Structure 1
C-alpha cells in the first residue's frame, strides 16, 4: 500500500484517539537549542496535526506538510483557527517549501514512512543554516500485563505490523541520518486513559489493523473486548508510552 494513502480511512479515529505529545518537549527544545516562537517550524508528515498542536499553542508559526488529502483536510478543520498555521500539500521528499525557509523541522510518528536519502536532501534544502531537526515517536510500552496482551492481540490480528513498525528503525539508523551532525535522544513519559470505545478507536487508528468489513475485523474486536473486561479498572484502561525525541542541529 502507498504509505501516503494508508490512513485515508482512519482519519476520524486517528485525530480522536492517537496520543499527543508531552508539553515538556517544547521546554526542552527551547532550553537546549534556544528555539523560540519567532521561529518557523515545518511539520513534515503532519497528518491530522497532532504534532503541530504543542507548537501552535506556544505561538510558533507551523507549516504542516502532509501528502494525504483526507488527513490534511482534517488538520485544516482542527487547526485552521490558529493564525500561525499553514497547510501544505507535499511529501517529505518534495515539501514544496522554499529554500532556506524554516528554522526547524519536526516529524512526529512519520519519519519511518520517508525515503531517507531523498528527504535528507530536501530537509537540508528547506532548512536555514544551523537549522534544527526533531524526530518524535510515541512508543507504546509493553510493561504491564494488559500492555503485553494488547501487543499480542495486535500481532495476532495485524495485516503488516511487523513490516511497518517504526521500531524497525534503529537508533544507529537515525544517528546515521543526522551524520555528520551529532544527534541526541531524550525520552519523556506519556500515557492515555481509555474507556472501551476509546481503546477500540486507538486500535482502529492504526493502518495495519483490519478495518470494518475486512476479514478478521469482528474476531479482533471480540478479543479486544475480552481483554478490556479482564483488565479494566473503574471502566478504564491505561496505555503507557515513551515519547522518544531525537534532535540535533542539522
Structure 2
C-alpha cells in the first residue's frame, strides 16, 4: 500500500472535521503572489478540497491534484459547480500539467507525504519562472498541555502515530533543502480552533494513523479522548491551541 492509500475510507470524516485556513493566510497568499482571477493555482495533494475551496472562493483558477480516489471524489462532489475548478487524478511527483503553466503551487497538510526531491523537480517543471510554492499546515501548538496529552493518547492507541503532521515541524532542514538556496518566508498565523465533543473526536479520527471502528484500539481511543475533552472543555467548548504554519518561496 502506497501513501496515497493512507486516507482511503476516511474522506467523509476528513471533509467534515478538518478545519479550513484563516483568511489572514488566504489574503497573504493572494497579496504576496499578486494573484488575480486570470491566474492558475495548482493545489497539490488537495485531499477533500479544503484549501481548494477557499482559493476558488477568491475567484482563482484552481487545479486540484489528488491521487486518492476516495478523497478526490469527495472534493469533486463538493466543488464541481465552480467554473474554475479542475480535478485531476495525479501524484505530486508526476502531474500531467504543462510545463511553466502554473502561477502558484499550494500544498496544504500534505508535503510530509511526498518524495521531496521528485516533487521539487516537478515544481520546477510546471511553475512559471520565479513563481512560488506555498506549504501550509494547521498545527497544534506543541507547547500546550492539552496538545501534549492529546499526543500521548495517540501514541498509546495509534501504532502508526509519529507526531502530528508526521512530525514535519521538527525537521526545519527539510525546508532548507527544498527551497531554492535554502531561502523561504516562514510565517505563523494564530488560529485557535473551537470544538464540541463530536468535532474534537472527529478531528482526531481524521488522522491517517487513527484507528477505525473495526480496530480493537478504537473504543479505548474514543474513551480517552472523551476524558481529555471533559478535562479541558468549558461550557461544552474546547479551545485547541492551533498555529497555521506557512513556508513559501521559489524552488
TM-score scaled by length of structure 2: 0.94
Partner of 1:68: 68
Of residues 93-102 and 157-166 in structure 1, the stretch that sits farther from structure 2 once superposed is 157-166
RMSD: 1.7
**Contact preservation (8 Å) 1:160, 1:208:** yes
Aligned residues: 250
**Contact preservation (8 Å) 1:139, 1:244:** yes
- In structure 2, relative to structure 1, the CA distance for the partners of 1:122 and 1:144 (3 Å cut) is closer
Aligned positions of 1:80-99 closer than 5 A: 80-99=80-99
Deviation (angstroms), 1:72: 0.3
Partner of 1:106: 106
SS in 1 for 2:192: strand
Of residues 32-41 and 76-85 in structure 1, the stretch that sits farther from structure 2 once superposed is 32-41
Partner of 2:239: 238
- 4+ runs deviating over 6 angstroms: none
Deviation (angstroms), 1:165: 1.2
Question: How far apart are the structure 1 equivalents of 2:228 and 2:169?
Answer: 27
TM-score scaled by length of structure 1: 0.94
Question: How far apart are the structure 1 equivalents of 2:237 and 2:54?
Answer: 26
Question: How far apart are the structure 1 equivalents of 2:190 and 2:202?
Answer: 22
Of residues 230-239 and 59-68 in structure 1, the stretch that sits farther from structure 2 once superposed is 230-239
Structure 1 unaligned segments of length 5 or more: list them: none
Of residues 54-63 and 171-180 in structure 1, the stretch that sits farther from structure 2 once superposed is 171-180
Write the deviation string for residues 11-40 of structure 1: whole angstroms up to 9, x where unpaired: 111001112111112222333332333210
**Contact preservation (8 Å) 1:181, 1:248:** no
**Contact preservation (8 Å) 2:158, 2:217:** no
Structure 2 unaligned segments of length 5 or more: list them: none
Partner of 1:191: 192
- In structure 2, relative to structure 1, the CA distance for the partners of 1:198 and 1:185 (3 Å cut) is same
Of residues 89-98 and 25-34 in structure 1, the stretch that sits farther from structure 2 once superposed is 25-34
